[in-house]
Amino acid sequence: MRRAGRCGLVHGRETGSPAQACRVDWLNYHHLLYFWTVAKESSVSKAADMLHVAQPTVSAQIRALERSLGQKLFERQGRRLRLSVEGESVFRYADDIFALGRELLQTVKGEPQAAPKRFRIGISDALPKLTTYRLLEPALVMQPSFRLHVRIDKTERLLGELAVHAVDLVIADAPMMPSLRVRAFNHLLGETSVSVFGDAALAKRVRRGFPGSLHGAPMLLQTTNTAMRQSLDQWFDAHGIQPSVVGEVEDMAMLQTLGEHGLGLFAAPTVVRKEICRRYHVVCVGELERVREKFYAISVERRLTHPAVRLIADQAKRRLFG
């Protein structure tokens, strides 16, 4: 990092009056390259071989970058280096920076672009994967195309990455809470009712008298931190229904797999009912119209301008939830 004590640094000599004093920070891309190479290889020695320099040189460059950023970028895990939380964020920026550098060289040389622009999306790990795919599908086939980068994690962590522009969009089952203090905006993509599914034998047993037949029936539910579970619990309480909870699973794909093997009934968005029945070889028992699952796009934009995000939002409202 190179700093000028005042505005107007000319050939290493400061100019300007004290009234014009300011501080300018410069990122040393040479240091960043050394860091990026070590992060990719998880090894200083391998990075040194690739860069054709000595290991102490690589280590010194990284220490200089850490001092300039005021952050520890690596943690040692046995013999390997592991990125710290701050290091992961810096690495994603570095990855984008050097990808843009390669594109710049290809452009000025008149070479065809090797890869489309990136579209980085964070998906809450509580969301059903089939519905999420249907939401993303329009962006996968749009022209000009994007190279999709998907990160699945807890919503809170994804919103932290959105705040530092490490992802372009977060899709979640609940709006961002104001207490998180992240400058972002909630965009409701749509909502759907929830249906109950099970293998053929179990579905036949509880279909008559549905939904009252859910009382005492074996049921697989998502964990209590998910929006769908909270909606189901409210509905059960309002109707005096107490299913026999045989399992609580946060990941929707795993829950549906357990349901496929007859361990219990499960609830999932009605909007992908046909896909669930076909993929997991289950039968739809019935629909719970009053239980709603909502899907939000959370973005730093008050008005959506990213072409892929706009397409996802438009198609969700017109085709998926319309």
Quick: pLDDT tens for 199-221.
999 999 999 999 999 999 999 99
pLDDT at 99 over 80: no
Task: List, in order, residues 6 or more apart from 258 with CB less than 8 Å away.
Answer: 220, 247, 249, 264, 266
- State the pLDDT at residue 111: 63
pLDDT of 16 reads 46
pLDDT computed for residue 98 by the predictor = 82
Task: Provide, rounded to the nearest whole percent, the portion of the chain with pLDDT above 70.
Answer: 89
Residue 17 has pLDDT above 90, yes or no: no
Give the CB-side neighbour count of residue 233, counting CA atoms within 13 A: 12
Confidence of residue 101 (pLDDT cuts 50, 70, 90): confident
* Ranges for all domains in the chain classified under CATH 3.40.190.10: 191-294
Across the chain, how many H-helices and E-strands are there?
A: 11, 14
pLDDT confidence of residue 82? 83
Domain with CATH 1.10.10.10 in the chain: 2-91
As a whole number of angstroms, the distance between CA 220 and CA 232 comes to 12
CB of 300 within 8 A of CB of 161? no
**Distance in angstroms (rounded) separating the CA atoms of residues 231 and 307:** 33
Number of CB atoms found within 10 A of residue 241's CB: 17
Q: Which pTM was predicted?
A: 0.65
267-314 confidence digits (pLDDT tens):
999 999 999 999 999 999 999 999 999 999 999 888 888 888 888 999
User: What's the pLDDT band for 168 if we cut at 50, 70, 90?
Assistant: confident
173, pLDDT greater than 80: yes
Lowest mean pLDDT among 17-31, 52-66, 275-289: 17-31
Does residue 10 carry a pLDDT above 70? Answer: no
Please write the tens of the pLDDT for every residue from 218-239. Answer: 999 999 989 999 999 999 999 9
Q: What is the rounded CA–CA span in Å between residue 222 and residue 231?
A: 11
Tell me how far CA of residue 11 lies from CA of 3, 8, 26, in angstroms.
13, 10, 15
Residues sharing a CB contact under 8 Å with residue 59, sequence separation 6 or more, in sequence order = 44
8 A C-beta contact, residue 34 and residue 55: no
CATH topology of domain 2-91: Arc Repressor Mutant, subunit A (1.10.10)
**What is the pLDDT at residue 244?**
97
Is residue 266 scored above 90 in pLDDT?
Answer: yes
Judged against a pLDDT cut of 50, whether residue 11 lies above it is answered with: no
**Per-residue confidence band for 77, with pLDDT thresholds at 50, 70 and 90:** confident
Q: What is the pLDDT of residue 144?
A: 66
Per-residue pLDDT, 257 = 93
Residues 6+ apart with CB under 8 A from 115: 99, 103, 147
Which of 188, 183, 187, 139 has the alpha carbon at shortest distance from 311?
Answer: 139
- The CATH code belonging to domain 191-294 is 3.40.190.10
Determine the pLDDT at residue 188.
Answer: 94
In terms of Cβ atoms closer than 10 Å to its own Cβ (0-12, 13-18, 19+), residue 121 is buried
